[in-house]
Amino acid sequence: MSGTGSVSVTGIGIVTALGQGAAANWAAMRAGQSGAAPVQRFPTEGLATRFAATVDAFCDPALRPTERTAELALMAANEALAQAGQEPGAAFPGKLIVGIPPIQMEWSDRIALDRATGGRATGYGDLIRMAGAAKNNGLFDVLRFDGTTRRLAARVKPVGRPVTITTACSSGATAIQIGVEAIRRGEVDRVLAVGADASVSPEMLLRFGLLSALSRRNDSPETASRPFDKTRDGFVPGEGAGALVLERAEAAHARGANVLGYVRGVGERLDAYHRIRQRPDAGPVGAAMAAAIADAGLAPQDIGYVNAHGTSTGENDRVESVGIGQVFGPRAPDLPVSSLKSMTGHMLSAAAAVEAAVSLLMIAEQTLLPTINHETPDPEIPLDVVPNVARPADVTHVLSNSFGFGGQNVCLVLSAEP
């Protein structure tokens, strides 16, 4: 990190399959509801997994994945900005940083463009050049990696050029990390950090299915995401967006802003072990957690709860448990650790931003959200996973974990105090 010190949060926005807005999501999560359901957006015959936690109830299912991602990002951003005191339509006096998935191009668009250009496209570079040269196909902005950010920036009107990043499932946390670092360096006083993802599509279900990463509980989607449970069989794809307005603490207090909490520490470590697997000894995972706690100026015993990455896959849940054991030692079995993905599904690039925002709500409400669908404890995971029912708790500091494909591990410490 380029500096130290807490960064205040003055606005949050949340969109998941459970609802639009922080209040709706908190109520649903507090009640232990699941957002998973059979996919209605497209035919699923022949797919091994035919369900997901989608946002079709309040976002047009006919939109392309990148267009839908942009809509979710805007919903979350608008809520966060309004809570931070931003006037509607006013330019945001800070930096915009957005974590999104890699380009998701529908096969129908890919085939149409290929036919229109005589089959000359051999890669992404060819596709985007041809889309830019084609007339009235509407694909150029869809195909641009920064297309979501460009749409959002046109509405938010931030200072300077916005930043677009993707670090797989850690993207939202990386956006927050970059924002924290920019504020600590004195580059800006405010940052709007967003993570958004609406990638559920036939190709997405097929690809993750071929990796044996998805649950196949098609007869019971609402119970399919079961992090840390011995009977877990894969993750449930989800969609959503999270947004946080980050602000230099002194500046926020000076303008009389309502401070919701603080990003007190950030830690990251690369696990260059495998494209989709983690090191079995959990070394980088534990190191990222320890780095975030140290960056916050805290000790492991100060952490009152861990908002786990907890994907409901066999390997990830076990490795995260090992890492928690390394960091927290003998205290680990008694430390509350739960996974919101049991309710929201795995929102991929959006997950970390949503989970950071909800971590602040848990601190404000002094309530720990549960890991639902926990029926059979796994003896290899000796953790208190806050099973099935929310729990009152006295918590000041929360560790929120995010571990992405490619070994991109980012952890955040969210706190009630600077």
Q: What is the dihedral of CA 271, 273, 274, 275, to 10 degrees?
A: 30
Nearest CA to 337 out of 374, 365, 364 is that of 374
- Least Cα distance to 10 among 362, 195, 257, 189 occurs for 257
Instruction: Please list the active-site residues.
Output: 169, 309, 346
- Pull the structure tokens for residue 222: 């609402």
Closest CA to 309 of 198, 107, 173, 153: 173
Q: Residue 239 has which token pair?
A: 């969609």
Show the CA angle centred on residue 360, arms to residues 166 and 200, nearest 5°: 40
DSSP for 220-283, written as a single string:
-GGGT--TTBTT---B-BB-EEEEEEEEEHHHHHHTT----EEEEEEEEEE-TT-SS---TT-H
Q: State the burial class of residue 376 (Cβ atoms within 10 Å of its Cβ: 0-12, 13-18, 19+).
A: exposed
Q: From 220, 228, 221, select the one nearest 200 (Cα to Cα).
A: 221
CA dist 143 → 102, 124, 138, 332 (Å): 10, 9, 9, 45
Beta-bridge partners for 15: 20, 241
Q: Mapping DSSP to helix (H, G, I), strand (E, B) and coil, where does residue 405 land?
A: coil
Q: How far apart are CA 238 and CA 53, in angstroms?
A: 4
Q: Report the C-alpha gap between 282 and 137 in whole angstroms.
A: 47
Cβ–Cβ under 8 Å, residues 80 and 155: no
Length of the chain in residues, anyone? 418
Q: Are 235 and 313 in contact (CB under 8 A)?
A: yes
What is d(CA 165, CA 188) in angstroms, rounded to the nearest whole number?
19
Q: What's the N-to-C CA distance of the chain in angstroms? A: 17
Which tokens hold the place of 120? Answer: 């000359």
